[in-house]
Amino acid sequence: MESGPLYVTVETLTRIIFPTIYAFAALTVYRWFMPQLSTVARRLASVMLAAQALTIFNALYIESSSSFYLWLWDLHREWNVAATLASTQLALASGVALLTAWLAGKRPVWYRIYLLGIGLVFLFMAYDEFFTLHEYRIGWNYYIRVGVAVVLGTLVVAALSPRRSWKWHACLLGGLAISAAGAIHVEVYGGICGDYAFLYIDQCPRNTVWDLEEILEFLGIWLTLVALLGHFSGASPPSNRLRRSLYLMPALWIILIVPSAPIWPIARQVGGEPAAVAFESGTGLHAYHIDQRKSNLTVRLFLSPERWDYNGLGYSIHLVDQITGESIVSRNTHAYRRLEFYLAPGHVPVYRQWKRIQFPPQTPTNHALRVVLTLWHKKGEQIVYDPVLSSDLKLLGEAQVLLGELALPADSPTPTTAPLAQFENGFSLGAAGLPERARPGENLVIPFAWRSDENGQEDHVQYLHLGYISPPGEGRSVEGGAESVQTGAWFVYDQEPLGARLPTRLWYPGLSDSETWRVPLPADLAPGQYSVFTGIYRARDGERIPATDVDGTPFVDARVPLGNLFIEAN
């Protein structure tokens, strides 16, 4: 009776292959290569092998107690223990090669050039291993060409070298071959499932196949490191201190790369504003950045779509008048794939989108404008907007996200007269055209000229106080019950200094602008003499901003006197 093939899963096969090939490699290296290494080199090689074994053991055999633990030891995730170790070993191999090239002063120039080239190649690979340039910027063709160049260079150097050094060249070529074997099989053939004579490999999920690839790459890195440590041991370093400097290389590399690892929130990575906006389609906005220039505006978005492709996904950036709600300019574009970061440990792929918008000639200056984002999908000829499910940013509609506000600066002349009042926050009141007389029930027209030497940052409100001094004419009766109005009564009116068109949170250094107030006076305002004051206070807490006159003398109660106003009787 003929028996069928033995069925085995990739996971089981990986758990068998790992101890088998590592035991065979370790026995071979410790039998034939380790005795030729210096004491420092042997210790370093042993520590790196133990670190690899511990990392792979945690990834394959320890049950994950949390998503964080899974990410921390996963062999094919980025910026975790496994990725850091792989990058560190490549950096160590680079450092060993470069240091050996420097120490081998009595060896031929071609040998030193070879080690210098190997060191630079491994240094780049160490950087790429941690920051994953190959995922989105560098194609595998470049790596194939570099690998071929390294192999040919090693063969040429081996042919020119003494026979006693051939073992190190063979070890290096063997390490490169083992690393390439895993990568080529997974990247080119996409897996290892199928019928292999008496063995049938089943259940071949992508992440499990990647585990096998990473194990082979780990082992290949270690063998190349052993080979370069062999070259280092033969270079005869002049002192124990220089030999022991090898111990510092892994620590220095980790200190260099870990602070730059994109395991922080995406907003911190890109220097943008944080966001947590979830759209109905599954797309998420994690961060954004608005770069305003004199003639244009660039908006950068960091989105994670529900799927890896962007089929049909588009977005629009609108510049909207804050008062009227009308769109000044709008730009629509389809999203494109440009992978920039991962959000570990959640491993969310984030794509950077950016759009530059030129300000139209008719764009008003010193005017509050809103930057609004909408997402949409094109289904046939129809545009379907993507509603927002949740957002930590302000919404202007079910599908409109407010990213920010801006104001185009106007060319402002430098004031030639001293300000009437200088406020502590960098604002100054240049002039106020208070009329001499006004009537109840009519508008009190007062132009105010403002200047700013600082960014506004928050909202302020300007107040106008009319304090009753005396009735019109001492000792005379006043019609309409004016004599019943007591000295010290106040009329108060508040509004933003430049109106709603330019809130103080959008003021900028060099701003010089004016606003004419039309204050509606009550119809029953008592006629007589009033003292008029103004000033500003913070909208969030009502705290008045201290102010001084041109000589630096503080105004009492942070109130700036504008003069007297006579209210005529109707």
Which ranges of 185-310 would DSSP assign to H, the alpha helix? Answer: 206-234, 240-244, 248-257, 266-270
Q: What are phi and psi of 220, to 5 degrees?
A: -65, -40
Q: How far apart are the first and last CA of the chain?
A: 121
Q: Is the pLDDT of residue 269 over 80?
A: no
Which CATH number is 266-406 given? 2.60.40
| Contact partners, residue 128, CB within 8 Å, separation at least 6 | 134, 138
Lowest mean pLDDT among 56-70, 111-125, 226-240, 471-485: 471-485
What pLDDT score was predicted for residue 411? 85
**DSSP H or E segment with residue 383:** strand 382-385
Contacts for 14 with CB less than 8 Å, ≥ 6 apart? 60, 208, 211, 212, 215
pLDDT value at position 204? 60
Range 14-30 average pLDDT: 90
CA dist., res. 102 & res. 112, Å (int): 8
Structure tokens at 354: 């950016």
H or E stretch covering 300:
strand 296-304
Q: What is the DSSP string of 435-470?
A: -SEE-TTSEEEEEEEEEESS---S-EEEEEEEEEEE
Can you list the alpha helix ranges (DSSP code H) found in 132-205?
140-160, 166-184
* Residue extents of the structural domains in the chain: 6-260, 266-406, 421-567
249 pLDDT higher than 80: yes
Q: At 412, is the pLDDT very low, low, confident or very high (cuts 50, 70, 90)?
A: confident
339 — phi, psi (to 5°)? -70, 125
- In the chain, the percentage of residues whose pLDDT exceeds 90 is 55
For residues 85-105, average pLDDT = 93
CA torsion 230→48→216→190, rounded to 10°?
-130
Contact 389, 278 (CB under 8 A): yes
> Which sign does the torsion angle of CA 506, 507, 510, 514 carry?
positive
Query: Which tens digits make up the pLDDT trace of 157-187?
Result: 999 999 989 999 999 999 999 988 866 655 5
- Any bridge partners for residue 365, and if so which? 408
- Contacts of residue 48, Cβ cutoff 8 Å, sequence gap at least 6: 89, 92, 222, 225
Task: Reply yes or no: is the peptide bond before residue 345 cis, omega within 30 of 0.
Answer: yes
- Asked whether residue 282 carries a pLDDT value surpassing 90, the answer given is no
- Tell me the sheet residues that pair with 382: 379
How does pLDDT run across 205-220, given as a tens digit for each residue?
545 556 778 888 999 9
Q: What is the per-residue pLDDT for 43?
A: 93
Residue whose C-alpha is closest to residue 147's, from 111, 112, 183, 116: 183
Which of helix, strand or coil describes residue 70?
helix
Phi, psi at 376, each rounded to 5°: -150, 160
Opening angle at CA 303, ends 301 and 309, nearest 5: 125
Q: Could you tell me the pLDDT band of residue 400, with boundaries at 50, 70 and 90?
A: very high
Q: Which residue has the higher pLDDT, 482 or 338?
A: 338
- With residues binned 3-state (H G I as helix, E B as strand, rest as coil), the percentages for the chain, rounded to 5, are 40, 30, 30
Task: Supply the mean pLDDT for the chain.
Answer: 84
Average pLDDT over residues 114-139: 81
In which band, very low, low, confident or very high, does the pLDDT at 105 lie, cut at 50, 70 and 90? confident
CATH class of 421-567: mainly beta
Smallest Cα–Cα separation from 374: which of 394, 355, 388, 389?
A: 388
Which of the pair, 17 or 78, is modelled with greater confidence? Answer: 17
Least confident window among 56-60, 364-368, 553-557, 559-563: 56-60
Taking the C-alpha atoms of residue 246 and residue 226, their distance in angstroms, rounded to an integer, is 13
The predicted model gives 281-304 an average pLDDT of: 89
SS3 139: coil
Q: Could you tell me the sign of the dihedral formed by the alpha carbons of 268, 274, 278, 281, in that order?
A: negative
Peptide linkage before 503 cis (omega within 30 of 0): no
Element (H, E) at 22: helix 10-32
Predicted TM-score of the model (pTM)? 0.57
- What pLDDT, on the 0 to 100 scale, is given for residue 250? 93
Binned at pLDDT 50, 70 and 90, residue 138 comes out as: low
